[in-house]
Amino acid sequence: MALDRIDIAILDALQQDGRMSNSTLAEKVGLSQSACSRRLDNLEKSGVIKGYHAELSNVALGHSMTVIVHISLSGQFERTLSEFEAAVKRCPNVLSCHLMSGEYDYILRIAAKDLQDYERIHKEWLTGMPHVIRINSAFALREVIDRTAVGLRPDLG
């Protein structure tokens, strides 16, 4: 989908405040409410907008530890990857999982309450996932940035 400057303005505004009313959004981007609603509907239907959610604080919910986990599998056959991916999706502490090129097959970002909780996650989830042959864990000391919004160039379109 080709985005024009108004689409980009809508996306930028919603990244800043996803709960913004249609009337406020329309005013902000210089459209009538009905035109803004149509554009928003098109952005949703085309998949540019995947959904809306609340951004929760892991620390406030008691998960003060972030662990970056590198996983190596026994191979990269389609069945091996799909079985691992199905298993990793079931682990509630996995915040993100990326298939990688390079030394490791996957990188996971995991939320844990503390070191003992991560040990539990490691024992109960990670070591039991299919085709895992190596797990390398690194513990984040401090979060510097965790963006949920992507930078949008106003000159697109």
Instruction: Say which CATH number the domain at 93 has.
Output: 3.30.70.920
Give pTM, 2 decimals: 0.82
Name the residue range of residue 12's domain.
5-45
CA 110 to centroid of chain Cα atoms: 12
Asked if 39 and 78 sit in the same domain, the reply is no
- Return the pLDDT at 152: 80
Phi, psi (degrees; rounded to nearest 5) at 31: -125, 165
Element (H, E) at 100: none
Q: Is 120 a domain residue?
A: yes
Query: For the chain, what is the domain count?
Result: 2
pLDDT digits 0-9 by tens, 140-156:
999 999 888 888 865 54
Please indicate, yes or no, if residue 59 is contained in any of the structural domains: no
85-124 pLDDT, tens digit each: 999 999 999 999 999 999 999 999 999 999 999 999 999 9
- Facing residues of 77 across strands? none
93, HSE (Cβ side, Cα atoms, 13 Å): 23
